[in-house]
């Protein structure tokens, strides 16, 4: 982080660190915690859901990030839990890097196990296609960190990822 800040300062480029994250890996499908999905309606997200996702995601502050979410919903694996009216109440997407993320459950639907169902569903899908299963969790997000650990993910303590903004 110090090097990134120093180079940005030297080049007179305004920068802002958005997040510093743990990398969490699920390296073995047998480590994935089993989750009961019965009675839960799962579907992929589509472009009609982009506004809902961006309204709830704290990083969706500009058109570029909204475009990123739209691209993720259009072109990469995603999964959502639908309510009785067919509206998403919980979702997870895939970043261009292949990491799963943007996991969110509407507050009134929390505590029902939806996040565990979504993590399990995406991990199984990725393992089924031979892809690595990993995510990035913000260092201060202890709830998500514990959730992914409880699902069988482990942290690589030697690795940190950052999300930075540079204004050229």
pLDDT tens digits, one per residue of 13-72: 766 666 788 899 999 999 999 998 889 999 999 999 999 999 998 776 677 888 999 999
Q: With 60 as the cut, is the pLDDT of residue 6 above it? A: yes
Question: What integer pLDDT is reported at residue 10 of this predicted model?
Answer: 81
* pLDDT(168) > 60: no
Contacts 24+ apart (CB under 8 A), 30-37: 31/152, 32/120, 32/123, 32/124, 32/127, 32/151, 32/152, 33/116, 33/120, 33/150, 33/151, 33/152, 34/120, 35/113, 35/116, 35/117, 35/119, 35/120, 36/113, 37/117, 37/120, 37/121
pLDDT score for 159:
79
pLDDT value at residue 21 = 86
Q: Model pTM? A: 0.86
Domains of the chain by start residue, with CATH: 14-166 (3.40.630.30)
Whether the predicted pLDDT of 167 surpasses 70: no
pLDDT tens figures, 99-137: 999 999 999 999 999 999 999 999 999 999 999 999 999
């Amino acid at each position: 982080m110090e090097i990134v800040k120093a180079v940005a300062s030297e080049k007179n480029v305004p920068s802002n660190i958005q997040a510093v994250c743990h990398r969490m890996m699920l390296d073995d499908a047998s480590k994935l915690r089993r989750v009961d999905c019965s009675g839960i309606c799962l579907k992929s997200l589509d472009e009609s859901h982009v506004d809902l996702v961006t309204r709830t995601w704290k990083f969706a502050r500009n058109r570029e990030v909204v475009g990123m979410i739209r691209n993720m919903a259009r072109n990469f694996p995603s999964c959502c839990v639908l309510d009785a009216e067919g509206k998403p109440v919980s979702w997870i997407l895939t970043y261009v890097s292949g990491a799963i993320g943007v996991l969110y459950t509407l507050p009134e639907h929390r505590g029902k196990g939806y996040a565990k169902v979504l993590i399990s569903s995406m991990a199984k899908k990725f393992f089924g296609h031979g892809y690595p299963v990993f995510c990035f969790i913000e260092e201060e997000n202890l709830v998500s960190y514990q959730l992914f650990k409880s699902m069988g993910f482990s942290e690589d303590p030697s690795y940190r990822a950052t999300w930075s903004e540079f204004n050229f």
